[in-house]
């Protein structure tokens, strides 16, 4: 007999899980991190396994998802859409492998496993009859879901008609609909700028987008589908292994995950886990683990299912990308353009594979929208190389003495007034170069690798130079003497000489680099390059009217306005004059006749990860050679440079017969045009 205490724990776990489930699946408003949910579910599973008399058919462990919203038509799945068991460490994965071998009577034979990233999105089923898309449905509770046909039809990676040979008469394809990180960030960025509600994570954004009754809204969301299995199959045969089935799907026009691999034995499964864990941050989408599947379909049949999950598959989880922690304080950071960002100081928490103790709160609108107070328990998200963010507050855990966040009326660094421009969410310090924070940030940008590339001048040293009053602005850098440098703490003769040499070196530069280094608002590397190429000289650029500026690729009214403000400001003119007096120089360019450049008239696309250079760098080089660089592949694309991890763009290029080259071939091609890296 279980004790009353155990009974109470089981009951309380059920109530919590149901509550969280409802919030997460039905309302799309998660109140706890996934990791807490998983922990509670596991605990309940354990207790129910130890005390079977407590098991009830309505327990959260006995169902797959949650009920669907009533506005959509219900669809019964011909075959239930089940869930996966989790392995939380290497040992649990080995246990899984042992059970598989035992059940199949394979002794110590190594099993062949298909390994796939576990995408964090929404599970859906697509039904094709005679190769035509008939119906799209969500998983719902696993037995019936919502009919979302009109929404899935708007997703470009879902073919309305399959192509190729051997397509079964009836084919139900299953997979995940998700929102790539970049699309998610942009969506939230726009929402933030418009003062609208943001999404907590890409998974919620995908769910919210699919749950639109108006498919035109869904169509505007950057959703993607990746297929990982089939359900109902009639009037036709599929190959004998899971991996071959996926190959068939890919051939017929459906997206599958290019990271998937077939490996032999559990040790190779672990190696795959390690290698994907390394890659995780660089992937363009969120994954929360790896799915391992017995590759042989006949063996899958023999293994069968237990209540909610197949015996032939398991998910090995990665560290959660959302965790709960406490907000200790809010500080205000002043950036290069004076923008004041509230930064959350957090009780350190392990999230997304690293320990996080600071997270951005973006701006005052965001703080208001979150309703966050100092002392609150908050959910922090860290995914990919995006800076950690506070995504929601757990209201139940608010302490009585929680304090409201006070925005400063004056700059916390230089005490200048703070202003908020109409229509802008950002507050700015009006101190300009009087503000030490802005000075430091501007100098750090100026010396950075992609700008003036001044070696030996790290953040710490910049701060020292400003704090000691040796350098007031970027022009001051070139006037620091050896003696002054040597007075600085921890500065030896060698480092001082090295720094002076790299300062000297940096004087020989290009107009594009110089322009970028100045840190004019909204003038990034690509815009700087376009401007330099268009005008050829500083004088021509500085004298350009707004209309002339607007003729440049990349330059819209906002950028043109920032440029004019910069050129019209007396202090900016002075800094530039001082820099040139110190010897900064660059060759003027003949504004090139576009058609004389080697890649004139061509459109290139760069996708995937490059080794020898950043993607931005590759783009800048291509532009310099006269090519247009596009974000998507079309029939007019001249060439695609594809690194590892290239996804849909690569598929599209192959489909359209566009030339695709890898990085090595790209570098070789550049060399033929006189560009060496």
Could you tell me which of 212, 213, 229 has the C-alpha nearest to residue 221?
A: 212
| Helical spans, DSSP H, in 22-139 | 34-50, 90-104
Burial class, 559, CB count within 10 angstroms (exposed 0-12 / middle 13-18 / buried 19+): buried
Residues 63-102 close enough to bind ligand IVH by CB under 6 A: 82-84
Q: Give yes or no: 118 in active site.
A: yes
Among 118, 293, 649, 652, the active-site one is: 118
Beta bridge partner(s), residue 325: 378
Which segment (115-123, 239-247, 328-336, 659-667) binds ligand IVH by CB under 6 A?
Answer: 115-123
Nearer to ligand IVH, 123 or 576 (CB): 123
Does position 291 interact with ligand IVH (CB under 6 A)? The reply is yes
- Shortest Cβ distance from residue 303 to ligand IVH (Å)? 11
* 114: contact with ligand IVH by CB under 6 A: no
Of the candidate residues 229, 509, 530, 572, the single one contacting ligand IVH (CB under 6 A): 229
Q: What DSSP assignment string belongs to 553-612?
A: TT--HHHHHHHHHHHH-HHHHHHHHHHHHTT-B--------GGGSTTTT-EEEEES--SS
What are the φ/ψ torsions at residue 435 (nearest 5 degrees)? Answer: -85, 120
- If the CB atoms of residues 65 and 519 are measured against ligand IVH, the closer one turns out to be 65
> 138 or 607: whose CB is closer to ligand IVH?
138
Nearer to ligand IVH, 257 or 439 (CB): 257
Structure tokens at 644: 């590892």
Q: Name residues contacting ligand IVH, limited to 231-270 (CB under 6 A).
A: none
Contacts 24+ apart (CB under 8 A), 531-534: 531/555, 531/563, 532/589, 533/589, 533/591, 533/592, 533/623, 533/624, 534/591
Using CB under 6 A, pick the residue from 24, 113, 228, 535 that binds ligand IVH. Answer: 228
Is 429 in contact with 437 (CB distance < 8 Å)?
A: yes
Please name the residues in contact with 151: beta carbons below 8 A apart, sequence gap of 6 or more: 136, 209, 210, 212, 215, 218
- Residue number with CB closer to ligand IVH (314 or 605): 314
At its nearest, how many Å lie between ligand IVH and the CB of residue 6? Answer: 27
Q: Is 118 in the site for ligand IVH (CB under 6 A)?
A: yes
Distances (CA, A) of 354 to 288, 357, 382, 634: 15, 10, 9, 39
Which residue number has the CB closest to ligand IVH? 123
Residue 419, SS3 per DSSP? strand
Segment near ligand IVH (CB under 6 A); pick from 188-196, 206-214, 261-269, 307-315: 307-315
Task: Provide the minimum distance between the beta carbon of 287 and ligand IVH in the complex, in angstroms, as a whole number.
Answer: 8
The least distance separating ligand IVH from the CB of residue 79, rounded to whole angstroms, comes to 10
Name the segment binding ligand IVH (CB under 6 A); options: 91-99, 118-126, 330-338, 510-518: 118-126
Supply the minimum distance, in Å, between the C-beta of residue 291 and ligand IVH.
4
Smallest distance, ligand IVH to C-beta of residue 228, A: 4
Q: How far apart are CA 225 and CA 206, in angstroms?
A: 10
Binder to ligand IVH among 68, 115, 123, 462 (CB under 6 A)? 123
Q: Which helix (H) or strand (E) holds 118?
A: strand 112-119
Tell how strand 377-381 and strand 389-393 pair up.
Answer: antiparallel
Annotated active-site positions, please?
118
Footprint on this chain of ligand IVH (rule: CB under 6 A):
82-84, 116, 118-119, 123, 139, 176, 228-229, 291, 310, 313, 315
């Amino acid at each position: 007999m279980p004790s009353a205490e155990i009974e109470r724990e089981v009951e309380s776990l059920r109530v919590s899980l149901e509550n969280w489930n409802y919030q997460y699946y039905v309302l799309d408003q998660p109140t706890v991190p996934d990791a807490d949910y998983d922990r509670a579910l596991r605990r309940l599973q354990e207790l129910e396994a130890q005390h079977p008399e407590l098991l009830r058919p309505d327990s959260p462990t006995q169902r797959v998802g949650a009920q669907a919203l009533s506005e959509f038509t219900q669809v019964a799945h011909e075959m239930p859409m089940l869930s996966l068991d989790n392995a939380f460490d290497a040992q649990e994965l080995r246990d899984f492998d042992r059970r598989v071998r035992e059940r199949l009577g394979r002794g110590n034979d190594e099993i062949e496993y298909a390994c796939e990233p576990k995408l964090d999105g929404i599970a859906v089923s697509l039904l094709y009859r005679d190769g035509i898309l008939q119906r799209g449905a969500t998983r719902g509770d696993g037995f019936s879901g919502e009919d979302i046909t009109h929404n899935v039809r708007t997703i470009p990676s879902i073919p309305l008609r399959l192509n190729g040979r051997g397509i079964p008469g009836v084919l139900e394809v299953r997979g995940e609909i998700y929102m790539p990180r970049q699309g998610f960030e942009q969506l939230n960025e726009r929402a933030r700028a418009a003062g609208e509600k943001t999404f907590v994570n890409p998974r919620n954004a995908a769910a919210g987008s699919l749950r639109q009754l108006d498919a035109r809204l869904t169509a505007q969301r950057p959703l993607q589908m990746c297929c990982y299995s089939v359900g109902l199959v009639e009037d036709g045969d599929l190959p004998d292994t899971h991996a071959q089935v996926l190959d068939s799907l890919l051939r017929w026009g459906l997206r599958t995950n290019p990271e998937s691999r077939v490996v032999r034995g559990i040790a190779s499964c672990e190696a795959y886990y390690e290698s994907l864990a390394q890659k995780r941050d660089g992937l363009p989408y969120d994954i929360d683990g790896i799915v391992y599947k017995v590759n042989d379909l006949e063996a899958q049949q023999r293994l069968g299912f237990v209540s909610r999950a197949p015996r032939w598959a398991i998910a090995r989880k990665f560290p959660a990308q959302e965790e709960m922690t406490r907000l200790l304080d809010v500080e205000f950071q002043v950036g290069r353009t004076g923008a004041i960002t509230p930064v959350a100081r957090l009780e350190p928490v392990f999230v997304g594979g690293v320990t996080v103790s600071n997270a951005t709160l973006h701006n005052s609108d965001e703080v208001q929208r979150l309703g966050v107070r100092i002392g609150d328990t908050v959910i922090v998200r860290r995914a990919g190389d995006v800076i950690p963010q506070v995504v929601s507050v757990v209201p139940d855990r608010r302490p009585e003495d929680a304090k409201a966040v006070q925005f400063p009326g004056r700059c916390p660094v230089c005490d200048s007034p703070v202003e908020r421009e109409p229509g802008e969410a950002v507050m700015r310090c009006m101190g300009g170069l009087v503000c030490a924070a802005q000075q430091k940030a501007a100098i750090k940008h100026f010396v950075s690798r992609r700008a003036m590339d001044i070696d030996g001048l790290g953040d710490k040293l910049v701060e020292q130079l400003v704090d000691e009053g040796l350098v007031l602005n970027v022009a001051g850098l070139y006037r620091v003497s050896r003696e002054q440098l040597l007075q600085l703490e921890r500065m030896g003769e060698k480092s001082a000489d090295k720094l002076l040499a790299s300062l000297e070196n940096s004087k020989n530069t290009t107009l594009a680099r110089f322009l970028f280094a100045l840190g004019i608002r909204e003038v990034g590397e690509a815009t700087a390059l376009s401007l330099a190429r268009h005008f050829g000289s500083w004088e021509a650029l500085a004298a350009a009217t707004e209309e002339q500026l607007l003729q440049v690729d990349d330059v819209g009214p906002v950028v043109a306005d920032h440029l004019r403000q910069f050129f019209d400001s007396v202090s900016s003119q002075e800094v530039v004059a001082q820099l040139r007096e110190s010897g900064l120089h660059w060759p003027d360019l003949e504004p090139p006749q576009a058609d004389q450049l080697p890649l004139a008239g061509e459109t290139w696309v760069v996708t995937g990860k490059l080794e020898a250079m950043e993607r931005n760098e590759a783009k800048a080089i291509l532009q310099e050679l006269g090519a247009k660089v596009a974000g998507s592949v079309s029939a007019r694309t001249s060439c695609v440079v594809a690194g590892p991890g290239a996804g849909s763009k690569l598929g599209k290029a192959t489909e359209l017969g566009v030339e695709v080259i890898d990085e090595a071939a790209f570098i070789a091609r550049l060399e033929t045009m006189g560009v060496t890296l």
